[in-house]
């Protein structure tokens, strides 16, 4: 396999970094390209009179060739991923072990917290997106319309990065830690055009709008399942240690559910509550995995 030609321009250098990172996580590629481009553009700004080919050669000797930069980022990603990944519980072989072992997975509780927290973020994202789009359309006929819509789309990118950090922290899905690089040497017109032609700007808007129904669904399901399971678990204790009213309510519940006397129904109610609680934890972990992939596909720029 022939070695790639020595890059002579910044764009060629970045293309070779991208090619060397082919197959890596798109979020990692975005971070690596951002760091490399920021360094290259800063060096070019500090040496305005130097030929670009000579500048690239100088930078490659200090910052590293594209292949070396890519290798460093791959190695660093493995190290950081190991450091940030919570310790895994001992794998269980039996079906019962797998079912009840979910309680030992820290990611389960993080996903459950995300489901509860998503109602607040969903309301905020939806309000921001709908209000911004509405005002942009309303201001379109005014002189402030153009700067307003530009600022609004810029805020969408910022919120995309913020949501990415939340998703990575709670759901464990690798998301960008750097924004998309905006070349300050490009004309404003080209930078604005890129903002509106980038599909991720619009897919982020779609994600923000979709977060309201998703947040309501996540919050409602998690709260309902947790409340019902905990109520079932607490029913026998309320019947034993509570007053006559608690015993009567427990009896009514068991009689309604199974048409059995309380000395049989209450233990069954306790078992049902425990099973439902663990099923809720499994559901939370599954929702976390699925939502992480949704966020990945809508918020992360493709490496192509």
Phi first, then psi: give them for residue 235, nearest 5 degrees.
-55, -45
d(CA 19, CA 298): 23
d(CA 134, CA 154): 16
Residue 299 is predicted with a pLDDT of 92
pLDDT tens, 219-245?
Answer: 999 999 999 999 888 877 776 766 545
d(CA 147, CA 212): 27
Residue 105 is predicted with a pLDDT of 86
d(CA 78, CA 75): 5
80-97 as b/e, with b when 16 or more CB fall inside 10 Å? eeeeeeeeeeeeeeeeee
The tokens describing 14, both together, are: 């970045």
Domain ranges in the chain?
Answer: 10-84, 118-211
Residue 303 is predicted with a pLDDT of 58
Determine the 3-state secondary structure of 75 from DSSP: helix
Residue 301 is predicted with a pLDDT of 74
d(CA 274, CA 270): 6
Question: Considering the entire predicted model, what is its pTM?
Answer: 0.81
List, in sequence order, the alpha helices (H) in 242-299.
244-258, 262-299
If 0-12 CB within 10 Å is exposed, 13-18 middle and 19+ buried, where does residue 5 land? exposed
If 0-12 CB within 10 Å is exposed, 13-18 middle and 19+ buried, where does residue 245 land? exposed
Residue 264 is predicted with a pLDDT of 67
Apex 102 CA angle, 97 and 103, nearest 5: 105
The stretches in the chain having pLDDT less than 70 are 1-4, 83-93, 97, 182-186, 239, 241-265, 303-304
């Amino acid at each position: 396999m022939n070695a790639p030609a020595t890059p002579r321009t910044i764009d060629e250098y970045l293309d070779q970094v991208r090619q060397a990172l082919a197959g890596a996580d798109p979020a990692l590629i975005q971070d690596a390209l951002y760091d490399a481009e920021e360094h290259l553009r800063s060096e070019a700004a500090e040496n305005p009179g130097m030929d670009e080919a000579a500048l690239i050669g100088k930078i490659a000797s200090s910052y590293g060739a594209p292949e070396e930069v890519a290798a460093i980022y791959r190695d660093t990603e493995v190290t950081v991923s190991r450091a940030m990944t919570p310790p895994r519980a001992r794998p269980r072989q039996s079906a019962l072990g797998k079912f009840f072992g979910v309680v030992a997975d820290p990611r389960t509780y993080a996903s459950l917290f995300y489901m509860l927290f998503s109602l607040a973020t969903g309301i905020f994202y939806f309000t921001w997106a709908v209000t911004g789009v509405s005002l942009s359309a309303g201001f379109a006929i005014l002189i402030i319309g153009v700067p307003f819509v530009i600022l609004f789309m810029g805020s969408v990118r910022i919120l995309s990065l913020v949501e990415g950090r939340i998703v990575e922290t709670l759901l464990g899905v690798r998301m960008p830690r750097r924004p998309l690089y905006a070349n300050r040497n490009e004309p404003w017109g080209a930078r604005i055009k890129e903002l509106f032609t980038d599909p991720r700007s619009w897919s982020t808007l779609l994600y923000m709008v979709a977060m309201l129904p998703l947040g309501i669904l996540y919050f409602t399901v998690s709260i309902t399942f947790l409340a019902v399971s905990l109520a079932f678990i607490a029913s026998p204790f309320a019947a034993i240690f509570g007053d006559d009213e608690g015993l009567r309510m427990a009896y009514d519940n068991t009689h309604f559910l199974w048409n059995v006397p309380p000395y049989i129904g209450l233990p069954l109610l306790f078992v049902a509550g425990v099973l439902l609680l663990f099923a809720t934890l499994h559901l939370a972990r599954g929702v976390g995995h699925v939502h992480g992939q949704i966020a990945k596909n809508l918020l992360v720029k493709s490496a192509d």
